[in-house]
Amino acid sequence: MPKKTKKAKLIAEYRRKLQHLEGTPIPVSSTRSHEVFTLPVMTPNLQKTVTAEIPTDESRAIKKDLIKTVSIVLLFLIFEFFLARVLR
C-alpha cells in the first residue's frame, strides 16, 4: 500500500477542518451598534515664509566655480574632438 504524499495529507487535514467548521454554529448578532468617531479639526499654525537670500560673496564663488567647470568640460570636449580627427 503506497504512503500518502504531502498533498494528500494536506487535503485530508483541510477536509477534517472543514467538517469541524461545518458542525459548529456561527453566532450572528442581529443588533449591531455603530459608534461614530470624529476627529477634531486642527488648523496648523503656518508662519510667513521668508525668502532666503544668498550672500553676494557666496553667489560670486558659485559663479566662479560654475565658469571653471564649464571651461574644463569644453576643453575636454575639444581635446576629444581633436583626437578623433587626428586618429582617424
pLDDT (0 to 100) of residue 33: 64
Give percent above pLDDT 70 in the chain: 85
pLDDT (0 to 100) of residue 77: 96
- Return the residue matching grid coordinates 498533498: 7
In this prediction the pTM is 0.38
Contact 12, 4 (CB under 8 A): yes
Structural domain boundaries in the chain: 54-88
Range in 16-20, 23-27, 37-41 the model is least confident about: 23-27
**What's the pLDDT tens digit per position in 42-80?**
777 777 776 777 777 888 899 999 999 999 999 999 999
The confidence band for 18, taking pLDDT boundaries of 50, 70 and 90, is confident
